[in-house]
Every structure is written in C-alpha cells, then in structure tokens.
Amino acid sequence: MILGLDLSTSISGATILDSKGKMIYNESWDLRNKKTFPDLFSKVDEVKIKIGELINTYGNPDKIYIEKTLQAFRPGFSSAKILSMLVQFNGIISYICYEQYKKMPEYIAAFTSRKACGIKVPRGENAKEVVLNYVLDKEPNFVVEYTRFGNPKPGTYDKSDSYVVAKAGWIKEKS
C-alpha cells in the first residue's frame, strides 16, 4: 500500500493505492478557513488528525511519498515567505508521518512523478489541467466536482496531484 501526499497550507491532497495500484482513498483536506485554522500549527493539527484517521481505516502503508516543495523562488509563483512556510509545513508533516507510521517518507518532485506516469505537459499548457485529465482518463473511481461555471472545485487539483505522487511511488516500488 502506498500513501501519496501533495502538501499545502491551503488544500492538501492524499491518495492511497493498494498493492496492485488500485486507488482505495483519494481526498483533499481544506485548510483555508482562517477562523478554524488561523495559523500553521492549527493546520498541522488537522493534518495529524487526518493521518490518524487513515491509520485507523487503512492501517500502515508500505511506503509514503510526498511531493517535494519548490526549492527556489521563481518570479510569478509563490513569494519567499510562502515558500518558507510550505517548507516548514512539509517538514512537520513529514515528521508526523514518521512518528505515526514509523516510516521515513520519500520525496518526489512534481516533474519526476509526472514523468514516471508518462504525463507530458506541452509547452504553454496548464500542468494541473493536464494531470487532472490524465487521472480522469486512468482512474475510473476519481471523483471530480465542478463549480456552476464548469471549473473543477477547489481541492480537485490537489487530489489529482496526490494520485500522481502515489502512482509514481507505486511504479518505483514495482521496478
């Protein structure tokens, strides 16, 4: 069993694949409510609860894969402050995974996980949409809800990213 996580302080995605690569869990955890989650540690507490629920429901995974955070500032993307908070969040959740599952998580870059799954993002196209279309094509049990304007609801891209992280981990373990 493989657990794939796409961690973010706004919405995190989590996917569990069984030993045959079949999706048995795929959800997003919404941490955006500033009243419920006013700071980094309240968000960490919520994810810790969710990880505990996964253990109670599915047991311990064989491997945990977490999408690597961005390693450098890139103009037009997240600010240095946001990147710093994401690195902190990623580190804390990584430790929680180690503490709860007694396994060290492995980290995989978004590009690497997409490549392992055979996903090619043509220049100029939105990588998130390409990944979502891949998951919709490959995974019949993937649930996507749309807004009244026809856009995927918040959390959908996080769920699809966590699926690709888990699938890349599963592929790695099979090779």
Listed by start position, the domains of the chain span: 2-174
pLDDT tens digit string along 95-110? Answer: 999 999 889 999 999 9
What element of type H or E holds 42? helix 40-58
Give the per-residue pLDDT at 169.
97
Burial (CB count within 10 angstroms: exposed 0-12, middle 13-18, buried 19+), residue 61: buried
Over the stretch 138-160, which tens digit does the pLDDT of each residue have?
A: 999 999 999 999 999 999 999 99
pTM, full prediction: 0.91
Half-sphere exposure for 11 (CA within 13 Å, toward CB): 14
Contact 169, 63 (CB under 8 A): yes
Give yes or no for a contact between 164 and 131, defined as CB atoms under 8 angstroms apart. Answer: yes
* Residue 55 backbone dihedrals phi, psi, to 5 degrees: -60, -45
Confidence at 3, pLDDT banded by 50, 70, 90? very high
Report phi then psi at 30, rounded to 5: -85, 115
Mean pLDDT score of the chain: 92
What topology does CATH give the domain 2-174?
Nucleotidyltransferase; domain 5 (3.30.420)
